[in-house]
Homo-oligomer: A and B are copies of this chain.
Amino acid sequence: MHTIKLVLEYDGTNYAGWQIQPNGISVQQVVEEALARLLKEPVRVHSSGRTDAGVHARGMVAAFTTAKGLPMRAFSDGLNALLPPDIAVMEALEAPDGFNPRFDAAGKHYRYTIHRGERRSPLCRHYVWHARETLDLAAMEKGASHMVGEHDFASFRTAGCAARTTVRRIDAVDLALEGDLLHIDVKGSGFLRNMVRIMVGTLVEVGRGRRSADDVALLFRYPGERFAGPTAPPQGLCLMEVYY
């Protein structure tokens, strides 16, 4: 058997998220169907994790096994010819036996992008959150610094999150300006459901002056008891890279 590792880019706008589910088309389903056409056998693809509806990826990692010894080009250019324009394989390579994209992952990099322009931007509408108000970036950076380190993120997950433990290690929360865009780059060992979007929603509350930067620290001192900010909308989020 061969274990093939795929690095996928996709525009999540028109999908119900990564994972196969009854309502709506998922990225996983489309990739599995394209692979089944290529290999002429049913294929089950495992990923490094889920992305929600409307969330994008530049470096989602997925893997599958097959007995067929096709050249790697079949799984990159060949598969790309079968995938729709909003999904593409950026890299395909043979992984060691037993490679598990989820459990072998050492960490992930997510980027959340906020558009600070006065008016909504048609050209980036699918890839940013338009936060019209003036944001206090220094306060946001201070709030972000409280998030770095190993903390109990119980206040930073949605009701549906099934994770048993809520302690995670965040290695970096960096803010970077690019014209009217504000990128928030979050790197960490693991993430709870909607955790990045709630981190961003909390930082935007800080930037708007509705919450103090130091209030972020209290969310970790009383995990699950104090309320974090709202969940930022999905289209600003992109899974940039999974580290192994």
> Interface residues, chain A, CB within 8 Å of chain B?
9-11, 56, 58, 76-77, 80, 85-90, 119-123, 125, 127, 238
Contacts and interface: CB of A to CB of B under 8 A. Distances in A.
A80 B238 CA distance: 27
Contacts of A122: 9-11, 85-88
Contacts of A123: 9-11, 56, 58, 127, 238
A125 B86 contact: yes
B89 A119 contact: yes
B88 A9 contact: no
Contacts of A89: 119
Contacts of A125: 11, 85-86
Contacts of A80: 119-120
The secondary structure that dominates the A interface is: mixed
A125 B238 CA distance: 16
A31 to B, nearest CB: 12
Nearest to A121: B9
A209 B119 CA distance: 43
A86 B88 CA distance: 24
A93 to B, nearest CB: 14
B9 A76 contact: no
A88 B11 contact: no
A167 to B, nearest CB: 32
A88 B58 contact: no
A90 to B, nearest CB: 5
A122 B238 CA distance: 13
A91 to B, nearest CB: 8
A56 B122 CA distance: 10
A49 to B, nearest CB: 19
A122 B31 CA distance: 14
A88 B119 contact: yes
A90 B122 CA distance: 10
B121 A88 contact: yes
A47 B204 CA distance: 38
Contacts of A77: 119
Nearest to A86: B122
